[in-house]
Amino acid sequence: MRAGVAGGVLGTLAVAGASASSANAAEPVTQTLELPTLTADLAAQVAQSADATQQAAANYQLQAERDAAAAKAAKQAKSDLAEAKKKAEAEAKKKAEEAAARKAAAERASRSTARTTLSASTGSGVSASVSTSTSTATGSAAAVISFVKAQIGKSYVMGATGPSAYDCSGLVQAAFKQVGISLPRVSQDQSTAGTQVSLSNLQPGDILYWGGAGSAYHVAVYVGDGMFVGAQNPSTGIVEKPLSYDPPTGAVRVL
């Protein structure tokens, strides 16, 4: 019986020792298994962080490319707009010049028609001969002539009264204003502003008109020697021309 008890006690101790040994032996295994798990998690986090950084860099690059493309498109649009504006202005200028040329041609044709009609009509009181007097202007006439000659080369602008541009009646009105004479503003009224004189008896300073007295469509100033100065049209501006260039249909004298 003692031998059996002793054997049981020894067996119990052996089992306990084996259990203790097993427990002590298991600890290193458990610790060894945890290290790879921690290392794998850390690697995953690092990889995820790297992906996020790379994605952010890609996003920044894409945005930079979009901004550059937008800036280039805006610059091109501005250039295209400037070019279109330049072409539109050139086209508008060209059309304005063509319109002015057509208007000048129409005025010339109208004057020619009016002269033909007046010449063909009877009892018109307009002489076919035109004076080429070489008399020298003096006094107020000289001042009027000096003024209109000083304007030669300036522009013709409809409705203008100086000093940089005139229309025909604006020039005549400004010339006589220099000597204290106030003339009406338009050609129709200026053609009846003084005493009607024959074209064969012109004197420097007389007002020439084209069309009928009271319905004239153009006026100029006779400056002597068969010449006149007038604001003709947008194409020629203010010029000095011989009477043969555009023969008038009548004249009035206010000096």
Q: Per-residue pLDDT averaged across 156-171, rounded? A: 97
Q: pLDDT per residue over 109-118, tens digit each? A: 555 555 444 4
For residue 50, name the pLDDT band (cuts at 50, 70, 90).
confident
Mean pLDDT of 35-59: 73
Max mean pLDDT range (23-32, 117-126, 230-239) = 230-239
Annotated domain spans of the chain: 125-253
Cα distances (angstroms) measured from residue 77 to each of 4, 67, 86, 127: 109, 15, 14, 67
Look at residue 116 in the predicted model and tell me its pLDDT: 47
pLDDT of residue 128: 40
CA distance 53 to 62: 14
Cα separation, 154 vs 166, whole angstroms = 8
SS (H, E, C) the chain: CHHHHHHHHHHHHHHHHHHHHHHHHHHHHHHHHHHHHHHHHHHHHHHHHHHHHHHHHHHHHHHHHHHHHHHHHHHHHHHHHHHHHHHHHHHHHHHHHHHHHHHHHHHHHHHHHHHHHHHHCCCCCCCCCCCCCCCCCCHHHHHHHHHHHHCCCCEECCCCECCCEECHHHHHHHHHHCCCCCCCCCHHHHCCCCEEECHHHCCCCCEEEECCCCCCCEEEEEEECCEEEEEEECCCEEEEEEHHHCCCCEEEECC
Most confident by average pLDDT, 31-35, 57-61, 201-205: 201-205
Worst-scoring range by mean pLDDT, 39-48, 65-74, 215-224? 39-48
Average pLDDT over residues 82-93: 84
Does pLDDT of 36 surpass 60? no
- Average of pLDDT values for 55-71? 85
Residue type (1 letter), 234: P
Q: How far apart are CA 68 and CA 73, in angstroms?
A: 9
Q: Mean pLDDT, the chain, as a whole number?
A: 79
Q: What is the pLDDT at residue 57?
A: 83
The model carries a pTM of 0.52
Question: What are the residues facing 193 on neighbouring strands?
Answer: none
Topology adopted by domain 125-253: endopeptidase fold (from Nostoc punctiforme) (3.90.1720)
pLDDT above 70 as % of the chain: 70
- State phi, psi for 247 to the nearest 5 degrees: -55, 130
What is the band of 199 on the pLDDT scale with cuts at 50, 70, 90? Answer: very high
- Residues 6+ away with beta carbon under 8 Å from 135: 203, 204, 224
